[in-house]
Structure formats: C-alpha cells, structure tokens
Amino acid sequence: MNYSKVYLSVGTNLGNRENNISNCIDYLEKISEIKNISKIYETVPYKVQIEQSNFLNLALEINFFESAENLLIEINKIEKELGRVRSSIRNEPREIDIDIIFFGNQIINKKDLVIPHPRFRERLFVLEPLNDIAPNFLDPITNKTINQLLINAQNSSN
C-alpha cells in the first residue's frame, strides 16, 4: 500500500499540555503510522498579540496512506476533538496545534493548504524538533537539509 512520509509539528500551551500531546499522539496513531517522535521542547510564544503561557512543541514523522487534503481534514477533526477553537486572532493560545510541515516531497499551494508550511524555516520551535528526527531531510523548495535550515535560523535570530 502506498504512503507518504509526512512531518508534523505539534504545539500546545493551554490546559494540561502533557495530556494534550499524549492525546494528540493517540489520535494520530488511529489515522497514520507513527515512525518517529522528537523530544519535547518548551518554548516561549512566538509573535503573539496576547500574553500567554509557554508552549510544548514536538515533531513527528508519520506514514499517511491518503492525500494531503485528507490529512488536513483529519488534523482539523483531531484539533477540534482536543478543544481547539479557532478565531481571527493569529498565534492565539491553544490546546493543540498540528501543522503539516512536509508531505513527502510535494509542493502544494492551495487556499487552505500550503506545503511545505510557509513559515517553518523561521521558527526554531519547528526546526529544532524536526532536526531531532530528520536532520538530513531536504526541503523541496530550498533543497537545504533541516539541519542547514536550523543553522540559518539560529544565525539570523542572534
């Protein structure tokens, strides 16, 4: 059966953050095959408009047997099930946030789905966990490895 190797970024800063991550992983196991999980990083909120608690962030490598669009539908269901309520405020506090960073080597640019994730290259809270599990994975847009992108992001944030 064909599958795509997918990299996800998961974050949480509301409620019981450890339980949110555990429950998220349980849900992801029902819809995919989890291959690898990074360690968990505690990070300060990034470019926020409202004061909020620190995030717990991690990255996962999964095998997904359907399309990227179907994965997005499933992720939205998981987020809703775990209590996420979306509003018009960017980078608001949330029980869970699941982003598709890579879906194989696909480049997708649709209204509701952009892969690779458009802002992952500037976010250490995405790159550091990704580097734990896929340092040599090539970004299909820049042809740079995760490790190279992480070094670039670290240098630009200093």
Measure the CA–CA gap between 51 and 157, rounded to whole angstroms: 21
The question of whether 84 is a catalytic residue gets the answer yes
Question: How do strand 33-37 and strand 108-109 relate by DSSP bridges?
Answer: unpaired
Measure the CA–CA gap between 79 and 27, rounded to whole angstroms: 10
Measure the CA–CA gap between 109 and 116, rounded to whole angstroms: 9
The question of whether 99 is a catalytic residue gets the answer yes
Which one of 17, 94, 121, 123 is the catalytic residue? 94
Which one of 17, 26, 84, 121 is the catalytic residue? 84
The question of whether 97 is a catalytic residue gets the answer yes
Which one of 17, 86, 90, 97 is the catalytic residue? 97
Looking at the annotation, which residues are catalytic?
84, 94, 97, 99
